[in-house]
Structure 1
């Protein structure tokens, strides 16, 4: 950790004392470490509660199965069996909801843990290392795979930034969040790139973002809010929330495979299962119909395109 430079006639002890900035940084780091330990402990207990709740639910499901077997053996449905099954199924639904709530809380804890770790990496005073291409592509793929799946409660609608659901107009991306940023290159061409937020200024209504794939020292951009689009923070479940996915034929911006740039594309097929990706057709003039063959892109890297469809 660097020391403040002492003045010509000052006491030598002043140069050995931590500056106020260093003290604040140490205090912040200590608080983050404490909070991280608390969250890990809470997550540990939640996981055990999930296991216990699942065991209770499985016991009840076994009772349901045995009751159905007895009914088949007796070949009749008596009021006793009707009442018993009604009670067992009600209990099964309550067990499932209790387990789902514990899983939601666990996902929230995991999100908090990840945010603290990301901020700790971001606040490091060491120079940002230049990541090898293969490592970067693997990291982006892992980020897409580990994106949390939104699990709706009965009657609940998917929130903003779940799949295709847009962010609120007043939403501000947080430090270290990944975003799509529209930047201008040295030759004047504009492109949508994958970037990471460093800070947002309320005074200027502008973001400072780092190009995730640029050489060190050349990656920082200051952009107005309209030139920055947050990426989804939850995957939408096609089986329960299909309305939170882009439909077939929708114009989008999608991250071209093995690159860090977003390009215009049409949705060829939306995901059918929670773990599925979009199938998209990128605009490409080298093909007779103006579109590439279908390519797979994760929900994490497919966002709304506000421009008109090409003519």
Structure 2
């Protein structure tokens, strides 16, 4: 985002508007620095995940370092959000000054003012979209290792409803950016392993280890997908009581599942996941 096209106008404005203009430029410079910090954090996080993938496990030192990096990334994202809000607020002030100080002889009408604002917002939005794109790309580069339990969306040719099921990763196919997974539902009679199938990366969600849970937890009334008790299928559900609100506290949720006559059921926290976004 650039304010250069307004430099010619500020010489005719009051000191107040010049000050706001300078603040916007300073904030944009700071925003660039914050975004660069975020890119470096993502790079470092991915390097550690690559190392874990290579050796097959995470040492305590690596776990602690990753935890520290994730905390820094959360702080960086908060700083970026606050800076975005400040810039937007200052732009509003700047445009209000222009509107209030202009006369018809200046040749700038209200529509032109709003057009300038739209240009600024478009520029800012493009920057944010690029940032989100880089973050999404970085996340997709973190390969789920073999043996990890996942929720996998079944292919349409296997299940016309494309339900999410419990499965295990048995391989990653970089050429097609997809995983081969094995259905957790085994043939009990023959003790044969479950069926294997290929799913794209976007249709696989890693499940935390037993005893672990998402942080922060899902609050009351959140919509999630969760493993229905005594099955290997995930269904949409609503949180009735999160783990921290149970008495005594526990690593499980109390949920009501869709189309389950409002029955309340307990589900281990690591089997309660974000609603997958349709892409």
- TM-score calculated relative to the size of structure 2: 0.45
Which has the larger share of helix? 2
